[in-house]
Amino acid sequence: MLPFIALHVMANLVWIGSIVTVGWLLSAASKAPGASEGKAIAEASAAIYRRIATPAFVASFVFGVLVVAFNAGYYMKQHWFHGKLTFALVVIALHHVIGAKSKRAASGGVQGGGSGGILTAALLVSAFATVAFAILKTALVP
């Protein structure tokens, strides 16, 4: 099980780093001085989403499910795990929202990147909460 945990954590590093980059680029695209510059930045964000963030998300999800599947009885009884899972689901939802906005902006949509910075900040806060629940688990158990 430890190799799956290591692979889950490694995939998380790549996933969160790349989706934050997508959100940051999305925000930058909406503030670009010209339409062509904004479109180029949005296309770069969509490419990172498709080529890096999404495969890393899938790897993180698969390895996370494997970790839990091999010891489901333990995880389902741990109170800290429910908090971790809740914030992880928020991160997953924000991943998809940021990705959809990035694809929309890359295709020339007008609703692309205005909220990219806010969504990225929310994703980072939620990712931090996920990590806090995982690391501080012994302090969180009554």
**Which of the pair, 30 or 45, is modelled with greater confidence?**
45
Given this model, what pLDDT does residue 112 score? 56
**What's the rounded mean pLDDT across residues 21-28?**
94
- Report pTM: 0.91
Domains contained in the chain, number:
1
Please determine, for residue 56, whether its predicted confidence score (pLDDT) is greater than 90.
yes
The answer, yes or no, to whether residue 38 has pLDDT greater than 70, is: yes
Cα–Cα dist 102/44, whole Å: 9
Give the residue-averaged pLDDT of 69-93.
94
- In this model, does residue 137 exceed pLDDT 90? no
| H-helix or E-strand spanning residue 14 | helix 2-30
Q: Which backbone phi and psi does 47 adopt, to 5 degrees?
A: -65, -40
Range of the domain at 94: 2-140
pLDDT given for residue 117 in this prediction: 87
